[in-house]
Structure 1
Amino acid sequence: MNVSEWIQTALLAILQGLTEFLPISSSAHLILPSQLWGWDDQGLAFDVGVHVGTLLAVMFYFRREVLLMTRAWFRSLGGHTDAEGRLAWLVVLATLPALVAGFVGSEIIGVYGRSVLVIAGTTLIFGVLLGWADARRREQRTTTEMSVKDAGLIGLAQALALIPGTSRSGITITAALMLGFDRQSAARFSFLLSIPVILGAGTLKGLELYQEGSSTHWLQVGAGALIAGLSALACIHLFLKWLDRVGMKPFVIYRLLLGMLLLVTYFAWPGGAA
């Protein structure tokens, strides 16, 4: 690999690490380098690597919660359910709609949803919705007050994130804010929800990689995983630290600008519809 390829690897890994958890859409960002600068796809192995990096980052950051929830979930199988066990079941419940939607609609979305125009539209529409939800938030509830219905609705919202440009974290935070949860609770539940989703996506991509049996630049994959993990870890920490102070407005403004840039890209390069 030459210097320019290493630069591409680092930048794409940073993009993945940051946009996986910020409410700004990872697909919208990952499509821009190929459209604007003609960068080649880094390959399936790289995709698996950065997913592993972001998964390890969120699990490390929430390691205490994950450990308590895991232990409590197993205890609940024996009939003893506490607050952590209940939260674990709510995460499982909220994950199911995305699994069903992915199984049923992934091929359709893969064919029709990768257009720059589609990604621009969803980036703009769901950005406005995020801003509206944040402006009208009531902030009366925490995750300890979350009901099965709440988890189900947030899970249904997460299923929409299969459409590129929606942003998984953005749509789940939007749904939680609309249901009256405070910003911190909305963000933390969204991050906990990301664990089974990223794990599932990474597993599927890993199986694809195994079936392909193609040669892999493991040093590039390892570097991508490390950079994505570190950038994701920093992103989660700073996002939660600054969330109550800055709110969602900066991300909404950024999404509007990004959506307009994607529209300009689409109309400037008519071949960018793919």
Structure 2
Amino acid sequence: MELLEAVVLGVIQGVFEWLPVSSEGINSLIMVNFFGKTLLDAAVIAIWLHTGTLLAALVYFRDDMLKLFRNFPLYLKNPKKETDTNTLTSFLIISTFLTGVVGLPLFLFGIGKANISGATATALIGILLILTGLLQKYSKKAIDKKDITKGDAALVGGLQAFSVLPGISRSGITVSVLLLRNYDARSALKLSFLMSIPAVLAAEVGLALLGRITLDAYSLVSVVISFAFGILTIDALLKIGGRINFGNFCIILGVLSITAVLL
């Protein structure tokens, strides 16, 4: 990774992570078309870039995370006790587990075996962006707040795993599914980003164990930049993301990507 690449990718990750438009897909398009990366290399770097926005999310949701951390010993003693904190803890554990169960083989036997680049990778990312856009366009918004269930945790956790594919927006797919399950927009957004914290952390550990992460000065620069821009933009963009349907943006970007390949 060169300095220009680190700066560009870090800024995009820090800004677009909070919008349901697939920061991974946008960064992968740039890496494949401008920096000569294969789809596999682009996916690995895109996941690595989430380290910065993971830290930004930890800072932003620090009160929620501290509450969960302090309650965890009590949760282990009596996980069936019905409290809001216990319910949220169970949701995060179940969703993270299902993300790992589905996501690991998807990465190893999907992206890991499909060492494609150039036009093919661009077209694939374009198709996945269109699918993300369609899902968002036809999701509905609930008015009344719905109680969190373990079944919803399993469903959204399993679907979150598909965001390992560049072009599938993690926040887009999770928020859309939660809206379809009758969660109100505010709860859906908060749950989506809280569940991203353990999922991204697990993904980083998994990539490290697989020997996929290569640390160098510019890799660290990209994470610092994504963290800085993430901190600067998270509050405003989460509010925007909760009010605007970005389905059309994803569809247009996907169509443009495919059109560029055909031309």
TM range (shorter): 0.7 to 0.9
Cross-structure match for 1:83: 84
Q: TM-score, normalised by structure 2?
A: 0.85
Q: Which residue, out of 233, 254, 259, partners 1:259?
A: 254
Cα 1:74–1:154 change in 2 (3 A) is same
Shift of 1:180: 0.9
Cα 1:174–1:100 change in 2 (3 A) is same
Cα 1:61–1:119 change in 2 (3 A) is same
Look up the SS of the partner of 1:186 in the other structure.
helix
AA aligned to 1:95 is T
Q: Distance in 2 between matches of 1:258 and 1:69?
A: 38
Deviations 1:208-238 (A, max 9, x none): 45x88x7x532x2332121101222233211
Cross-structure match for 1:160: 162
AA aligned to 1:229 is F
Shift of 1:264: 2.0
Cross-structure match for 2:19: 22
Q: Can you give the 5+ residue segments of structure 2 that lack an aligned partner in the other structure?
A: none
Q: TM-score, normalised by structure 1?
A: 0.82
Q: Which residue, out of 216, 225, 230, partners 1:232?
A: 230
| 1:182 corresponds to 2:181 | no
Contact map agreement 1:48 1:206 (CA 8 A) in 2: no
Contact map agreement 1:122 1:165 (CA 8 A) in 2: yes
Q: Distance in 1 between matches of 2:15 and 2:57?
A: 12
Q: Distance in 2 between matches of 1:58 and 1:182?
A: 21
| 1:140 corresponds to 2:161 | no
Q: Can you give the 5+ residue segments of structure 1 that lack an aligned partner in the other structure?
A: 269-274
Contact map agreement 2:55 2:227 (CA 8 A) in 1: yes
Query: Which of the pair has more CA radius of gyration?
Result: 1
Contact map agreement 1:45 1:221 (CA 8 A) in 2: no
Contact map agreement 1:19 1:26 (CA 8 A) in 2: yes
Cross-structure match for 1:123: 129
Aligned pairs for 1:38-57 (under 5 A) are: 38-39=35-36, 50-57=49-56
Deviations 1:18-49 (A, max 9, x none): 33332111332122223433455899997676
Shift of 1:85: 2.1
Identity %: 26
